[in-house]
Every structure is written in C-alpha cells, then in structure tokens.
Structure 1
Amino acid sequence: MGTVVPYSPELFPENGENGAIVASNRQLDAGALFILKSGGSWLHCGYHLTTAIVAPALLSLPFAFALLGWVGGVLCLTVAGLVTFYSYNLLSMVLEHHAAIGKRQLRFRDMAHDILGPGWGRYFVGPFQLGICYGAVIAGTLLGGQSLKYIYLVSKPNGSMELYHFVIIFGSLTLVMAQMPSFHSLRHINLVSLFLCLAYCACTTAGAIYIGYSKNAPPRDYSITKVGVNRVFGAFNAFSIIATTYGNGIIPEIQATVAPPVTGKMFKGLLICYAVVISSFFSVAISGYWAFGNQSQGLVLSNFIVNNHPLLPKWFLVMTNVFTLVQVIAVVLVYMQPANVVIEQAFADPKKDQFSIRNVVPRLIFRSFSVGVTTTLAAMLPFFGDIMALFGALGCIPLDFILPMVFYNVTFKPSKKSLTY
C-alpha cells in the first residue's frame, strides 16, 4: 500500500524536530515517519529544490553544447527548463489535491500506487526512482573525488595519487554527514548549498571569460565535429545530459518536508529554485562553450588546465573547486534520502523513538554500508559525463518529463480535446 496520510490536525501532532509536524505512528512506516518529517516552510522547500537541481552536473553543459552547437544548445536548454518547471508544478498540484481531500502522499512510489495502481509503484516508479537517486549519489561521489584530485593537481602537478584515493576520501566525509537524521534536518545545509552553487557558477563563468580574452586563449571552433550516425548519437547524449542536469526525481519527498497546509508552497519554492537555475545554467553553458568551443570537456573545469599548466591563478582554481566540493556533499545527502527511507522502513521500529538505541544502531550500520557501496562503485567508474548521460536516459526522462503529465491527467481528468490534456 502507498503511504497515505489523512489530512487532519489530530494526526499531525507537533512532536518532531523543532516543532516539526509528523504523522501518527499508526499511519506511517518508520521510513516516512523518521525521514520525511513535515515541518518545513516554502523557503526550506526552495533550498531543497535548488540543491537537488542546481548541482555540479551543470558543469557538463558546455560539453552538451559542443555536441549540439549554439542554436541547438540554447534551444534545448531553454525548452528543458520550461518543460521541467511546468511538469514539477503539475506534480505539486497533484500532491496538493490529494492532501486537500485527506490523502497526502509523501513519496513518488506512493503517488504511482494511489493514482496508477499498486504495480506501478512497486515495480516501476519505486525502483526507477531509487535507481536514479542512488546513481546520482554515485556520480556525486565521483565528482567529489574529481574535485579533490583537481585541487591536489593544482598544488602538486606531478603528484602520484590516483582518482580512487580521492573518491575514498570524499566517501569518508560523506559517511559522517550521512547520519543526519531526516530530510528536514538538511535545510540549513541546503541554504549554504544555494550560495555555494551561485559562487562556483560565478567563478566558472568569470574564469571562462577571462581565459577567452587572455593571450593563452585556446583556438575556438564551434562546428560540430561528429558526422552521420555519430552526430545523432552525440545529440542524444547531449539531450540526456541536459535532461539529467534539470532532473529531480524527489519532488514528492521534498514536498513531504513542508508543514501542512501545503497549498502554494511548492510553487514559491520552484520560483526560488528556477531563479538560481536560470542565472547559473545559462551563464556556465554559454561562457564555457564560448571560451572552449567544441573542445569543451565533460567537466568544463578540466579546460582550465592544459598539459598540467593552469590557465588561471592557482588560488582561483582551488577556491572554485572547494565551492564545488562542499556543495556536492549537500547534493549527495539530498539524493541519499530515498535510500534512507527504504533503510528506515526495513530496519527501524516506528513504535520507538527515532534516537533510541534500537533505531540508531541499525541506522548507523546500514547507512554506512550504503555509503560504502556508492564509494566503491564511484571508484570503479571514473567517467562522469557518460554516467550522467546514462542516468538521464534511463531515469530522469520518465520521472520528470512523462509521469507528472500522466499523474495530472489521471487525477484531474481534463477533456481529451482540451489544450491542457
């Protein structure tokens, strides 16, 4: 059965963290009860959304532009932004509708269960969402390791440490932070994350413009080098990268952190998020592609060093990567939440306190095991750009571009002849 929360005051006692409103133990399993506490405001919602969408994956956008060219790149980035904002708002409207009729849904698989049927939630949406979020954790761990290695090579160009060493170091940092008890408890971390993503995007944009105008500027060619079938596959690769960059497979879980009544709060959060999206995505994509053309690499920061020779002051490169490194920790923590829900549901006891020994010990063991698995896989798969394209094709497109429209049409049943349908 899906997790359906009756929308009545007596079932939402204020006994959570900092007055967080949580549902009765009889209504929720331990995963939803402990992880998805409903105590946040629309501002907190905006912080969570921004961290989930404006992540270091956006540093791959110049590479996507290199596969599409100027017109195709700008067009796809714009259309994807409009479609995702629209689809996330539709998803929010569906969630608000069910909350208003007394059936608040807290998870993506609960929506699929209640709207499309039990099989959809259990065998399609649930596994897809868990897979894409766990994949995002793997990719984030890999990117964190790459950022650490980048800082290392700037200070020691001929250093002997390998990427997997830095992935393990980053995984150790994540292991500590992963013990944060609930999604709502990440709100302050995600506020810092919002400013960090603006900071490293500003640094990346400024760095690309500086290099483009410097005497060491690389030769720029904006032609698409691939031809024939390779050009088609390159375009699909670019579509997947852009879709993944805008992707957010945890809209219901983010809205679940909002204290009732939920009406209108997600929309305000989306406005905050997409203000950051527009300012960061377009600035990085356009400046990076302008500076490096079709030589843009999978992560544009890699273009800032040529043959172990930095094109910018070392302190500037280190600062940019430190911003990226710290923010990616927040991104990893956000995308760990669906897995944490599953862990708590399986091993925690909702009848006991969240911080009782009975619940703390299994949480510590299994979250640590989860982080260990993601760190191992990240160390084994050192190709970030291809990972992002793969996860975009398999997960983000169905969850973010298709299902919200299906949920809306099934829930509100607009006329099949209408423009809305």
Structure 2
Amino acid sequence: METEIVTHNDEEQKRRNLDEKEKDINDWLPISKSRNAKWWYSAFHNVTAVVGAGVLGFPYAMSELGWGPGVVILVLSWVCTLYTSWQMIEMHEPEPGKGKRLDRYHELGQHVFGEKWGLRIVVPQQLMVEVGLGIVYMITGGKSLKRAYEILCIDCKPIKTTYFIMMFSSVHYVLSHLPSFNSISGVSFAAALMSLSYSVVAWGASIHRGVVPNVSYGGRSSTTAGNVFGFFGALGDIAFGYAGHSVILEIQATLPSTPEQPSKKAMWRGTWVAYLIVAACYFPIAILGYRSFGNSVEDNILMSLEQPRWLIAAANIFVVVHVLGSYQVFSVPVFDMTESFMVKKLKFKPTWYLRFISRNIYVAFTMIVGISFPFFGGLLSFFGGFFFAPTTYFLPCIMWLVLHKPKRFSWSWICNWFCILFGLALMLLAPIGGLRQIILDFKTYKFFS
C-alpha cells in the first residue's frame, strides 16, 4: 500500500515538473510571453498585418479586372475576410475565460482536426504565408528605398536594387531580437500610422494627378489569353491584400481574458476598427488609382506617381517604415514556431543565443530570396492565390463547420460555403496568372541587378 502511495506521489511530482517546464517554455516563447495588451493594440497590429504591400498593387489589379468585376471582388473580399476574422476570434477560446486558449493558428487546427492532422494541414500553409510575406516585404522595402533615392537625388549615381534590399534587411537584424509580440507594439503602431499615411498620399496624389491623356480602361494585353491570365493574376493581388488571418490568433493571445471580459470582446473591437481603416485605405487607392492611369498603371501605384516629387518620396519612406513593422508582425509567429520546435522537439535550451542565431538565419534567408527574385507583381499574385486564400478565405470556414455544425441552408451554413467556394476559386485561378507573370519577368531579369 505504501509503495502505491509513493509511486502515485512520484507520478504526481513528475507531472508537476512537466507542467512547470511547459509553463517556463511558454513564458519564454514570443507569442505567449505577455498577455497584457489593450484592445487598441489589436487594432494597430491588424492594420499593420492587413494593409501591406498588397494595397499598392490594387490599381494594377483593377486594370486587369475592369470596373465591374474589380469593385465586386474588392467588396466581396472585404466582407468575406471580416466574417472569417470574426469566426477565428470566436474560436480562440473554446470556453471563454476558463483558461484554455488556442494561441496559435496550428493549435486551432489541432483542436479541430486532431494533433497530427491539425499540424499537417495548418503549419505548411501558415508558414508559406508568413515566409512569403517576409520575402515580398524585403523586395518592397528595398524598391521603395530605391524609388525615394531616385526621386530625391536625380543626378546621383544609380545603385542596384540588391543594395537597397540589403540596407532594408540590416534593420531587421536588430528589430528581430525583440523578445515578444507585445514588445514590437511600438514598431507596429508606427507601421499602422505609415500605412494610413502612404495610402492617403497614394489616392490623394492620384486625384491631384488627374486622369492621364488618352487613358484607356480596356484590357492591358493585346491578346485574349493575356487578358485572361491577367484576370487570374489580379485575383491573387486582391487575396494578397488580406493576409492578416495567419496572425489573428497570435495577436489575440496577447490580450488578457477573464470570464467577465473574454479576449474575444477586445479583439473584435480592435478588428472592427482595423477593418474600417482597411476600407479607407483599399477602396480609394484601387478606384482612384485606376481612374487616373487606366491600364497603364504600374504594379506599384507609387511607381506611376511622380508629382509632387517630395510627397511621392515621402510616401515611399512611409512604405519602408510600414513594411519594417509588417515584416516583424508576420515574423514573430515564425520565430515562435521555430523556437518552440527547437526547444520542445530538439531539446535545445531556451537561451538568448538560440534566438540570436535562428532569427538572424531567418532574416538572411528572406533577404537572399528577395534579392534573387524581386518580382513584385508576380509574387503578389502567386502567393496571394496559392497560399493566402486558404488561410484567409476558407480554412476558418471549414473549421467553423466542423466545430459548430450549423444547420444546412441556415445563414451560417450559406455564408461559410460561399466563402469556401470563393476562396477555392482564388486558390485555383490566381497562381496561374501569377506564375505566368513571374516567367515573363524572369526572361528579362539578371540576377543581383
């Protein structure tokens, strides 16, 4: 009898030790380290995550889609992604205020699909979104720096895009060592302000520029095949503009939660405010930029705008500051996953130098890939369709249907299936156009130019 009691006590002690060790690791990981954020933190984190490089390509997407389909897809995307954001916020806590929280996208996947399949379904898609954004933001930051340099220094010696991307990446070798999601809140707030600023500059300068002479709103390509592929690629450009879902649960994890005030209340308030700001940025840029330049608009609207010079240069600097913050917002979940894997699976000790090495390797990787393949427009379309549509448009809906099982043909059932079909169409069609554009760009591209 005494032996059984001792054995039971030993097992209980081991369990306590494991729980303590797990708690220590969670307190070290960047997502779950701090839970004292306010609702407005979630607002500017969401603005930083959603309003990114993609908005600058919206006038170009409109030129591929045309007025009617362009406006419809813009509005549908805004409505669908707001709805799926709400679903993910609701699913963050299975029992609000009771302690169990699904702090990471893959944890929600495991809750719905099981331990193994949840990881297999969610992790590859989430990583492709976040790493893909890291690469695109390296390109965007470098090209915007170069554009500002060219505007402000007309007679200066030309400098390769490669060097500007390296300049941009050098800042991340510092910022990437901030320990937690909450610790980047200042960077994220500045980025959110900059996104609103350059959006206003972009559509304000479009109004100031007016409609260019001989503007055309017809197809960009002289062939039917070219216009069809362009239409497909534009769908990916739109999808790229709504990539914030891959970090929604991670943002919500930073908020406190009690039975009286569950985290979903604060998170939803912040998300709703963020989406109003998103609408104020996206719709005017897309419509006014397309109105000014028609089918001659560049795949980055700031590249089409030239006057007033100082303002366009400032807008490019705003873009640089914004993508600095966006890169960090999307990198924190990647750091969390890699550090969790190394500590929990590979049994590394949770130390500062583990972070130092792993995070520097990640920054270097995104920089090198960005330097090697700086195809802004094609990457938007390809990543937007193939990787972003699932995590944003239909994976949350599938999880909701599995968990809540709404009655067939109820409003919930209809809305979810509409978003699923819409997202599937984006995922299947957009990469075709994006891949074609990358191939066309690749024909005239020289490495490290």
TM norm structure 1: 0.86
CA shift for structure 1 position 419:
2.5
* Aligned position for 1:247: 243
Partners of 2:352 and 2:30 in 1: CA distance: 11
Partners of 1:189 and 1:218 in 2: CA distance: 41
Report which stretch shifted further, 75-84 or 154-163: 154-163
Report which stretch shifted further, 182-191 or 23-32: 23-32
Match of residue 205, structure 1, among 203, 206, 209: 203
CA shift for structure 1 position 247:
1.9
* Aligned position for 1:391: 383
Matched, 1:126 2:123: yes
Match of residue 346, structure 1, among 327, 341, 348: 341
Provide the aligned C-alpha RMSD in A. 2.1
Partners of 1:416 and 1:359 in 2: CA distance: 51
User: What residue ranges of structure 1 are gaps of 5+ in the alignment?
Assistant: 1-22, 305-310, 351-356
* Aligned position for 2:275: 274
CA shift for structure 1 position 31:
8.3
CA shift for structure 1 position 35:
3.1
Matched, 1:91 2:83: no
CA shift for structure 1 position 124:
2.1
* Aligned position for 1:5: none
2:51–2:278: 8 Å Cα contact kept in structure 1?
yes
* Aligned position for 1:230: 226
* Aligned position for 2:309: 314
Partners of 2:220 and 2:187 in 1: CA distance: 42
SS in structure 1 at match of 2:408: coil
Letter of the 1:228 counterpart: T
CA shift for structure 1 position 28:
7.1
CA shift for structure 1 position 52:
0.3
CA shift for structure 1 position 177:
1.0
The structure-2 alpha-carbon separation of the partners of 1:336 and 1:321, relative to structure 1 and needing over 3 Å to count, comes to same
1:212–1:218: 8 Å Cα contact kept in structure 2?
no
CA shift for structure 1 position 102:
4.4
TM norm structure 2: 0.81
Partners of 1:269 and 1:32 in 2: CA distance: 26
1:30–1:349: 8 Å Cα contact kept in structure 2?
no
The structure-2 alpha-carbon separation of the partners of 1:327 and 1:228, relative to structure 1 and needing over 3 Å to count, comes to same
CA shift for structure 1 position 218:
4.3
Match of residue 106, structure 2, among 83, 106, 109: 109
Partners of 1:362 and 1:100 in 2: CA distance: 34
| Cα deviation 1:333-357 (Å, max 9, x = unaligned) | 001012110232134589xxxxxx9
1:144–1:325: 8 Å Cα contact kept in structure 2?
yes
SS in structure 2 at match of 1:250: helix
2:29–2:339: 8 Å Cα contact kept in structure 1?
no
1:130–1:339: 8 Å Cα contact kept in structure 2?
yes
Partners of 1:257 and 1:119 in 2: CA distance: 26
Partners of 2:376 and 2:20 in 1: CA distance: 42
Report which stretch shifted further, 133-142 or 410-419: 410-419
Matched, 1:332 2:330: no
SS in structure 2 at match of 1:386: helix
Partners of 1:25 and 1:203 in 2: CA distance: 50
Letter of the 2:275 counterpart: Y
SS in structure 2 at match of 1:104: coil
Matched, 1:401 2:401: no
* Aligned position for 1:370: 362
CA shift for structure 1 position 209:
1.3
The structure-2 alpha-carbon separation of the partners of 1:140 and 1:25, relative to structure 1 and needing over 3 Å to count, comes to same
1:168–1:375: 8 Å Cα contact kept in structure 2?
yes
* Aligned position for 1:61: 58
Report which stretch shifted further, 326-335 or 388-397: 388-397
* Aligned position for 1:11: none
Partners of 2:106 and 2:247 in 1: CA distance: 10
* Aligned position for 1:308: none
Partners of 2:234 and 2:28 in 1: CA distance: 36
CA shift for structure 1 position 212:
1.4
CA shift for structure 1 position 395:
1.3
The structure-2 alpha-carbon separation of the partners of 1:100 and 1:228, relative to structure 1 and needing over 3 Å to count, comes to farther
The structure-2 alpha-carbon separation of the partners of 1:212 and 1:315, relative to structure 1 and needing over 3 Å to count, comes to same
CA shift for structure 1 position 64:
0.2
User: How many residues get paired?
Assistant: 384
The structure-2 alpha-carbon separation of the partners of 1:182 and 1:278, relative to structure 1 and needing over 3 Å to count, comes to same
Letter of the 2:220 counterpart: T
Match of residue 181, structure 2, among 177, 180, 183: 183
SS in structure 1 at match of 2:355: helix
SS in structure 2 at match of 1:415: coil
* Aligned position for 1:354: none
Partners of 2:20 and 2:51 in 1: CA distance: 34
Partners of 1:218 and 1:371 in 2: CA distance: 44
CA shift for structure 1 position 219:
2.9
Matched, 1:258 2:259: no
The structure-2 alpha-carbon separation of the partners of 1:35 and 1:384, relative to structure 1 and needing over 3 Å to count, comes to same
| Cα deviation 1:59-94 (Å, max 9, x = unaligned) | 000000000111111111001000000011011111
Identity of aligned residues (%): 28
Letter of the 2:270 counterpart: G
CA shift for structure 1 position 404:
1.0
| Cα deviation 1:30-75 (Å, max 9, x = unaligned) | 4874433322121111111110001132000000000011111111
The structure-2 alpha-carbon separation of the partners of 1:60 and 1:31, relative to structure 1 and needing over 3 Å to count, comes to farther
Matched, 1:161 2:159: yes
1:203–1:320: 8 Å Cα contact kept in structure 2?
yes
Letter of the 1:237 counterpart: G
Letter of the 1:109 counterpart: H
Partners of 2:144 and 2:357 in 1: CA distance: 28
Partners of 2:54 and 2:273 in 1: CA distance: 19
Letter of the 2:241 counterpart: T
Partners of 2:68 and 2:131 in 1: CA distance: 33
Letter of the 1:193 counterpart: A
Matched, 1:50 2:47: yes
* Aligned position for 2:301: 300
Partners of 1:198 and 1:375 in 2: CA distance: 26
1:348–1:363: 8 Å Cα contact kept in structure 2?
no
CA shift for structure 1 position 112:
0.7
